[in-house]
Amino acid sequence: MKKNKEIQRCQWCGNDPLYMDYHDNEWGQEVTDDKTMFEFLTLESAQAGLSWIHLAAPRRIPQGFCKL
C-alpha cells in the first residue's frame, strides 16, 4: 500500500493501528485460496459475539503455525 496517498478509511477502524492495518490490507479483499478461506471461516466462527480486536491481535502470532 502506498504511504504517500491519504487513505480513506471506514469509521469503524478508528485510530487503532491493528484495525487500520486490517482495514487497509484485508477488508474487502477477494479471497480465493483455501488456506485463507479456512482461516477466515475459523476466525468468524470463533468470534461468536466477541469484538474482532480480541481475535485480530493474537492472530498475528500463529499465522503459519499450522501447515495445511
Is 12 annotated as catalytic?
A: no
pLDDT for residue 34: 94
Average pLDDT of the chain is: 76
C-alpha span between 40 and 31 (Å, rounded): 9
Is 22 annotated as catalytic?
A: yes
pLDDT for residue 26: 84
Whether 67 has a pLDDT exceeding 80, the answer reads no
Helices assigned H by DSSP within the chain: 17-25, 34-47, 52-59
Is 19 annotated as catalytic?
A: no
Question: Is this structure's pTM higher than 0.75?
Answer: no
SS3 track for 49-68: CCCHHHHHHHHCCCCCCCCC
pLDDT in tens, 15-34: 988 889 888 988 888 989 99
Q: How many CB atoms sit inside 10 A of residue 59's CB? A: 15
Whether 8 has a pLDDT exceeding 80, the answer reads yes
